[in-house]
């Protein structure tokens, strides 16, 4: 139990105290519908893109063209958000994270679930992505 607590403490500690950022950590859900990357450095965050499915947001973020609704982000503080994005983190060659597993780094964590992915920061804010529903909190 002590090891698990220590791991959570490290994962929730802001990376600013470290000198060298860790490399980006890309992964995808077991069903291949959610692709994510945890980025550390000047701005720690996780971005996930939904591949296919039904987008459930009706209003685009401010100043967005057509590239919105499939990309989501949460930083080490604050709520999850929909991104304006004309790029993608979708890459079918990246590591598959089967349901029941998680990755954490730089103050954010993602949990693979049957049918989707949930990503949170230490404030328990973030998002859940599924083919038929995307939820921000």
pLDDT tens series, the chain, 137 aa: 333 333 333 344 443 444 567 889 999 999 899 999 999 988 899 999 999 888 887 778 888 877 788 999 999 999 999 999 889 999 999 999 999 999 999 999 999 999 999 999 999 999 999 999 999 99
Q: Which of 101, 120, 117 is nearest to 109 (CA)?
A: 120
126: left (phi over 0), alpha (psi -120 to 50) or beta: left
Domain span at residue 74 reads 2-136
pLDDT at residue 20 in the model? 66
pLDDT at residue 3 in the model? 33
DSSP at 4: H
pLDDT at residue 101 in the model? 97
pLDDT at residue 19 in the model? 52
Question: pTM higher than 0.85 for the full model?
Answer: no
> What are the residues whose beta carbons fall under 8 Å from the beta carbon of 13, sequence distance 6 or more?
107
Q: Which of 72, 49, 69 is nearest to 126 (CA)?
A: 72
Whole-number Cα distances in Å, 91 to 29, 57, 72, 86, 108: 11, 24, 16, 15, 21
Number of domains in the chain: 1
pLDDT at residue 2 in the model? 31
Whole-number Cα distances in Å, 30 to 54, 88, 97, 115: 19, 18, 6, 8
């Amino acid at each position: 139990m002590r090891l698990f607590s220590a791991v959570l403490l490290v994962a929730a500690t802001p990376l600013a105290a470290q000198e060298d950022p860790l490399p980006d950590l890309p992964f995808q859900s077991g069903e291949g519908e959610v692709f994510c990357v945890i980025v550390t450095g000047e701005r720690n965050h996780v971005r996930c893109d939904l591949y296919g499915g039904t987008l459930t947001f009706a209003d685009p973020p401010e100043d967005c063209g057509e590239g919105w609704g499939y990309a989501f982000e949460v930083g080490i503080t604050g709520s999850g958000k929909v991104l304006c994005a004309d790029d993608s983190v979708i890459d079918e060659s990246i590591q598959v994270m089967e349901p029941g597993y998680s990755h954490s780094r730089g103050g954010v964590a993602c949990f693979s679930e049957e049918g989707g992915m949930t990503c949170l920061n230490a404030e328990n804010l973030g998002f859940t992505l599924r083919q038929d529903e995307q939820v921000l909190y």
